[in-house]
């Protein structure tokens, strides 16, 4: 029996899964680490913490699965997109990685747009300049830390730094490279023209593969540290959303995904690089060779719920620890008793600024409609509903592009809640479904490894064999009607508050 590892370098933890050649998940392991916020709007991590988490999770899986190490045939990598790892000529990390949710690069985005031109930028990369993307981070380093900028020898994305530690190779793949704003998404290669216009060194950027291609082999030193064999194939893998889409079977027309992780993503498969002319949606290469995807991203989806837990529900966390249960279960149970619409309380989930459909780092989270009637249970339900309203913004943009939608598959932490599943069905006014695996991007990365090493003929075949629908949810028409009215109010609030958000931010 052949086995494969999928490793996902997430924002707050690394998850590693082990699957067999039939696409069945055997076991998984997770290790957490810290996200640093040295200034408001900043988000950084030490790349070494990712490597330590990989060591911990892989060794844990090897130990508890007791598989013969010679039967481990491939490794797939996934990870948070857009992050920047700057290496010097000796392969030392120059400074902490700047992450996808970092908002410091507003001025750099304006500079890039002015220098290239908005239309030409979208023509070159299929996307506008956004604060989360990698290129603005590179320009920020040049503007603000020139002593570090002139030391740069290589720029890697988070999962590709782990690839380097595993194999010694500088490499990336098309889906993750698509989010750098330095990639020709249409032609699936680095944009030499844009890199030249921005006066960057093209040698900084690693070789780019398709997601199923073998990009390197596990080197002797990494094999010894991890307790696996030298020479195991490491495939390209995928950015977390593309790999997660593979793990959800979003590899054909008509099926889209709604993922409530730290961020919230609505993801649609595409045969060609279709674009929203206003750049509100992202168009990236898919992890399926020769295919693309369209997606909308909100920055604080499950992150909003985690903020609520950590900031306003500490008593719930204490109760959960005492009863050895999940605090999120207690929170969602309380929300079940609150009427639809939270009795007029609306939450705007812009805790980290926003990306889709409002690319604005100055946007701020808000509760609108608070009264003496509302208590903590209303706040909880309002956050759940507000997050789904934000996801619906992206879904409506995708619908405007006439993308075929027959089913919406739910994933991420939010998909584990029965209440959140039904809220999504009602707000989206569409059938939603959950599948038999909930290992997300790590599972998708493992399927890519199995495909790239020849155990499946295609990504589509891998998904068809391993992924099954286990439960579906249909919208309740009465709920649909109520939510439609609340969503219209929600959707109007951003424009009413946009100036206020800027004034608050400027203070």
**Residues forming the active site:** 240
Asked if residue 70 lies in contact with residue 325, where contact means CB atoms within 8 angstroms, the answer is no
Whole-angstrom distance, CA of residue 506 vs CA of residue 275: 33
Asked if residue 427 lies in contact with residue 258, where contact means CB atoms within 8 angstroms, the answer is no
Nearest of 26, 9, 170 to residue 17 by alpha carbon: 26
The strand pairing partners of 254, in sequence order, are 405
Whole-angstrom distance, CA of residue 172 vs CA of residue 164: 10
Q: Which phi and psi angles does 493 have, rounded to 5°? A: -70, -35
Q: How far is CA 358 from CA 22, 180, 182, 277, 495, in A?
A: 42, 19, 22, 15, 9
Asked if residue 398 lies in contact with residue 266, where contact means CB atoms within 8 angstroms, the answer is yes
Consecutive H or E run containing 400: helix 376-400
Count CB atoms within 10 A of the CB of residue 125.
26
Q: Which two tokens stand for residue 287?
A: 């992890």
Q: Which phi and psi angles does 197 have, rounded to 5°? A: -60, -35
Burial 361-389 (b: 16+ CB within 10 A, else e): bbbbbbbbbeeeebeebbbbbbbbbbbbb
Residue bearing tokens 């090897």: 62
Q: Which phi and psi angles does 386 have, rounded to 5°? A: -65, -40
E strand residue ranges, 179-263: 183-184, 189-190, 207-209, 214-217, 233-235, 238-239, 254-260
Whole-angstrom distance, CA of residue 333 vs CA of residue 349: 21
**CA angle, corner 69, sides to 5 and 452, nearest 5?**
40
Whole-angstrom distance, CA of residue 428 vs CA of residue 409: 12
Q: DSSP secondary-structure letter at 81?
A: S
Residues 6 or more apart in contact with residue 413 via CB below 8 angstroms: 260, 261, 302, 305, 328
Whole-angstrom distance, CA of residue 210 vs CA of residue 285: 9
């Amino acid at each position: 029996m052949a086995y494969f590892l999928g490793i996902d370098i997430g924002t707050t933890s690394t998850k590693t899964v082990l699957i067999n050649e039939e696409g069945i998940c055997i076991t998984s392991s997770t290790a957490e680490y810290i996200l640093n916020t040295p200034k408001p709007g900043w988000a950084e991590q030490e790349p070494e913490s990712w490597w330590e988490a990989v060591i911990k999770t892989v060794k844990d899986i090897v130990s508890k699965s007791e598989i013969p190490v010679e039967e481990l045939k491939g490794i797939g990598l996934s990870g948070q997109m857009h992050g920047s790892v700057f290496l010097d000529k000796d392969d030392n990390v120059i400074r902490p990685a700047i992450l996808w949710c970092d908002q410091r690069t507003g001025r750099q985005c304006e500079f890039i747009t002015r220098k290239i031109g908005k239309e030409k930028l979208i023509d070159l990369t299929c996307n506008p300049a956004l604060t989360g993307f990698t290129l603005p981070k590179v320009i920020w380093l040049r503007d603000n830390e020139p002593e570090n900028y002139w030391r740069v020898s290589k720029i890697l994305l988070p999962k590709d730094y782990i690839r380097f530690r595993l194999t010694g190779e500088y490499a990336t793949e098309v889906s993750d490279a698509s989010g750098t704003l330095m990639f020709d998404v249409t032609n699936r290669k680095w944009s030499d023209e844009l890199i030249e216009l921005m006066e960057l060194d093209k040698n900084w950027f690693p070789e780019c593969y398709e997601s199923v291609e073998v990009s390197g082999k596990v080197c002797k030193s990494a094999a010894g540290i991890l307790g696996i064999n030298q020479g195991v194939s490491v495939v390209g893998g995928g950015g977390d959303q593309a790999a997660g889409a593979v793990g959800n079977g979003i590899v054909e027309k008509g099926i889209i995904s709604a993922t409530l992780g730290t961020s919230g993503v609505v993801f649609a498969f595409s045969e060609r690089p279709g674009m929203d002319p206003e750049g509100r949606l992202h168009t990236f290469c898919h992890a399926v060779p020769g295919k693309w995807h369209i997606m909308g991203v909100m920055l604080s989806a499950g992150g909003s719920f985690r903020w609520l837990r950590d900031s306003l529900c500490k008593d719930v966390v204490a109760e959960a620890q005492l009863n050895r249960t999940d605090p999120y279960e207690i929170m969602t149970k309380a929300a079940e008793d609150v009427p639809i619409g939270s009795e007029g309380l609306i939450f705007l989930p812009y805790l980290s600024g926003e990306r889709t459909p409002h690319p604005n780092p100055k946007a701020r989270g808000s509760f609108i409609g608070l009264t003496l009637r509302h208590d903590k249970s209303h706040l909880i339900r309002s956050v759940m509903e507000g997050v789904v309203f934000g996801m619906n913004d992206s879904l409506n943009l995708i619908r405007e592009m006439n993308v075929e939608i027959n089913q919406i598959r739910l994933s991420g932490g939010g998909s584990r809640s029965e209440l959140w599943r039904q809220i999504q069905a009602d707000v989206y006014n569409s059938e939603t479904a959950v599948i038999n695996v909930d290992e997300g991007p790590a599972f998708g990365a493992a399927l890519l490894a199995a495909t790239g090493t020849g155990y499946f003929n295609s990504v589509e075949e891998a998904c068809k064999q391993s992924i099954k629908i286990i439960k579906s949810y249909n919208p309740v028409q009465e709920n649909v009607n109520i939510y439609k009215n609340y969503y219209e109010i929600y959707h109007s609030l951003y424009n009413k508050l946009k100036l206020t958000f800027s004034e608050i931010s400027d203070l």
